[in-house]
Amino acid sequence: MTLSLAVSPATLRSTARQGLALVAGVALLTLSAKIRIPVGPVPITLQTFAVLALAATLGPRLALATFVAYLGVGAAGLPVFAGTPERGIGLAYMVGPTGGYLAGFLVATLVTSLAAEGRGVVARTGAMLAGLGTIYGLGLAWLALYVPADKLLAFGFTPFIIGDLVEAALAAGLTLVVSREWMTRLLR
């Protein structure tokens, strides 16, 4: 019995395209974190848009791999997060006040991508709202370790919700232009 290690050119092209999509996704997540408005322990960024758009267009496997890669390069010390390097880099940043939002983005990537897969724009929008709820749930729970309870919503919810709803709507609109099927064909 022999084991063939031959890989078809089509498989190599698909893998290369998926790798390129992953790198581009990490770059988009980094750029979205760097566009920020400081408003307290948690800055306003465009990450909600990037997370939801990637989740809805890349599908569960590639979207999750992209966000895990983003967290990995951040944990390794590269300045990919909002406020780095001036606020610290690596794991120290990840366990700071915004750590729950990072965890929320990870879980929201999975929730949104699974719920949006193969669905129409209304269902994808609902999936993004479910992802947004996940982000806030984990983000606020973690932030409660850092701010007094009476300030929690003022620091972790109120300044962000309108912008995040707009970002979710923009991400849903983007999925009208860049569908999961289009991405699947592109990455083959």
Model confidence at 39: pLDDT above 80: no
Give the domains, in start order, of the chain with CATH numbers.
11-187 (1.10.1760.20)
89 falls in which pLDDT band (50, 70, 90)?
confident
3 falls in which pLDDT band (50, 70, 90)?
low
Mean pLDDT, to the nearest integer, of 144-153?
A: 96
Structure tokens at 46: 């465009």
Mean pLDDT, to the nearest integer, of 180-188?
A: 60
Model confidence at 188: pLDDT above 70: no
Model confidence at 51: pLDDT above 80: yes
Q: CA 138 to CA 111: how far, in whole Å?
A: 13
Mean pLDDT, to the nearest integer, of 17-39?
A: 91
Instruction: Give bridge partners of residue 36 from the DSSP assignment.
Output: 45
Q: CA 11 to CA 27: how far, in whole Å?
A: 24
34-38's contacts with Cβ under 8 Å and 24+ in sequence apart are 34/82, 36/82, 36/83, 38/83
Model confidence at 2: pLDDT above 60: no
Mean pLDDT, to the nearest integer, of 93-116?
A: 95
Model confidence at 106: pLDDT above 90: yes
Residue 85: cis peptide before it, omega within 30 degrees of 0: yes
Instruction: Give bridge partners of residue 37 from the DSSP assignment.
Output: 44
27 falls in which pLDDT band (50, 70, 90)?
very high
